[in-house]
Structure 1
Amino acid sequence: MKRMLKFSPILAPLALALSTTASANPLGLTGPQDFIIRVGGYYISAGDDEVSFVDDSFRTGDAFRSNVDPGSEWGWYMNLEWKPVEHWGIELGYMDGDNHTSSHADGIFLQDLEDVDYRDVTRFDADISTASLKFYPLDDTCMVQPYIGGGISYTDFGDSGLNRAVRDDLAELGRRGNFEMGSSWGYTWQMGMDFNFGRDSSWLVNVAAVYARSETDMRLQLLEDVQPTSDLNLLIESYSGDYSYDPWMFNLSVGYKFSF
């Protein structure tokens, strides 16, 4: 339930708008309204980006670069689609992210660890919500239904932090570190295909490729691993940089069609 609440910034108002539209019926639709629910898994491949981290305090002028290359992961997703007229659909989707490990760094942001090599510096996950308008070129009698679509996306980055090897090395120096990521609004587009089990069947199998534009702020902080006192500044250094996540997702799901 906690994860499902993450995509409320985009899905809750849109779902309300769709329900209001369907009840008001401004398009003059007289027949039953078709809906499709799809649930399945996806394989996500995130973007590789060289991020330049800059000292937020501008006191020392320190800066460094890190290659952020998250490993590809598996996850699950679901979507609900409303087809008010033939050939067109409005889809709300949610993709639950799995943990990525990322950031190969030849030198970490603390000078005392410059000679240390890390393969994985950070971890994070990303939950993606989308709202898309889809076009189906074939009529509803066809058992195979290809489509294309596009719309907006919202990416919520969570469960972020430094990996254990980095935390342990910092602890030996009496330091600790924080790693945080923001959220991101962007656009999405997709192409896919529904395979119906039969002309009168309500069940289908779906395959799709989905792209989401997602750019977020990464922030690294270095702190003294002690309780702050009146003559001690707990925060030592803070760095931030922009990262282009921009994932591709390849979906496989089972769907069910129904009408009102």
Structure 2
Amino acid sequence: MLKFSPLLAPLALALSTPVSAGAFGLSDPQDFIVRVGGYYMSPGDDEVSFVDDTYQYFDAFRANVDPGSEWGWYMNLEWKPVEHWGIELAYMDGDNHTSSHADGFFSLGFDNVEFRDVVSFDANISTASLKFYPLDETCMVQPYIGGGVSYTDFGEGSLSRKVRDDLADFGLRGDFDLGSSWGYTWQVGMDFNFGRESAWLVNVAAVYARSMTDMRLQLMDDVPPPPNVEPIYESYSGDYIYDPWMFNLSVGYKFSF
């Protein structure tokens, strides 16, 4: 089921109640643009330092988190209250990332095994941006720049089958999760209008979003041990910087009311 983050609540409010231009001192019809399309996402890698949350072992290790690129879809709604300026709400639906080159995740007990694809996770990103259009609104080509805040909702992560199988050989199982996070975003893009009287346009844009989240890994017994055996439980966490570039291509429609 598709989940929308709290950042898109103003979008639902805008669509369910009339927009009062008078409250902003604006009497002319207000322009809106809806864009729907796809994107190519390329996240950067990050070295995460994990520490023991249980304070039992007092050990720590580092791992290189290098998510693979992905394709997805996005949509946005933009309000242009005055010439040259726009306020945009956008949502980008994520697909599964595979976190590679992370053999440091489970080095304990697996010294002779290199894990490449350790975990997978998806990231749904919502943004609220203020955009500036330098050219006159009659121009058929409209470049812009913008910046604002982002909210990243990480979906439920999972360990790879290889890791789960190797853990099972030791009578263990593992959990992996990421916390949602606020951050910032900026973008540069361009609208190509089909004509001065046309409501349709094509958009290309490069969007950057950065957030920091808590990455957590847990190891525990697969089945409860006998009463005289101490259970195994280890929990490690570290701060992970998620900062993908997204390259968007979409079709848009302009309207006023």
> What is the TM-score of this pair, normalised by structure 1?
0.93
Q: Which residue of 73, 81, 102 corresponds with 1:105?
A: 102
Match of 1:138 in 2: 135
Match of 1:199 in 2: 196
SS of residue in 2 equivalent to 1:120: coil
Contact 1:66 1:103 in 2 (8 A): no
Measured against aligned partners, the alpha-carbon deviations of 1:223-243 in whole angstroms (never above 9, x if no partner) come to 100047766665510000111
> What is the TM-score of this pair, normalised by structure 2?
0.94
Match of 1:224 in 2: 221
Q: Tell me the percent identity.
A: 75
**C-alpha displacement of 1:11:** 1.2
1:212 aligns with 2:212: no
**C-alpha displacement of 1:161:** 1.0
Q: Which residue of 155, 160, 170 corresponds with 1:163?
A: 160
Measured against aligned partners, the alpha-carbon deviations of 1:37-59 in whole angstroms (never above 9, x if no partner) come to 00000011112001111111122
**C-alpha displacement of 1:20:** 6.8
Contact 1:107 1:113 in 2 (8 A): no
**C-alpha displacement of 1:24:** 5.3
* One-letter identity of the residue aligned with 2:150: S
Measured against aligned partners, the alpha-carbon deviations of 1:1-54 in whole angstroms (never above 9, x if no partner) come to x32x332x1110465379779325222212211110000000111120011111
CA distance in 2, matches of 1:33, 1:233: 67
Q: Which runs of 5+ in 2 are unaligned?
A: none
CA distance in 2, matches of 1:26, 1:190: 29
Measured against aligned partners, the alpha-carbon deviations of 1:66-107 in whole angstroms (never above 9, x if no partner) come to 110001111000000011111111100000001000142334
CA distance in 2, matches of 1:147, 1:21: 27
**C-alpha displacement of 1:253:** 0.3
1:45 aligns with 2:56: no
Report the CA distance shift for 1:30/1:222 in structure 2 as closer, same or farther (over 3 A): same
Aligned Cα root-mean-square deviation (Å): 1.9
Match of 2:177 in 1: 180
* One-letter identity of the residue aligned with 1:6: F
How many residues were matched structurally? 257
* One-letter identity of the residue aligned with 1:221: Q
**C-alpha displacement of 1:115:** 1.8
**C-alpha displacement of 1:121:** 0.4
- Structure 1's consecutive aligned runs of 4 or more residues displaced over 4 angstroms after TM superposition are 17-21, 228-235
Match of 1:79 in 2: 76
SS of residue in 1 equivalent to 2:187: strand
CA distance in 2, matches of 1:215, 1:204: 35
SS of residue in 2 equivalent to 1:26: helix
Q: Summarize the alignment of residues 92-131 of structure 1 with structure 2, pairs less than 5 Å apart.
A: 92-109=89-106, 111-131=108-128
Match of 1:151 in 2: 148
Report the more deviating stretch, 11-20 or 69-78: 11-20
Contact 1:103 1:120 in 2 (8 A): yes
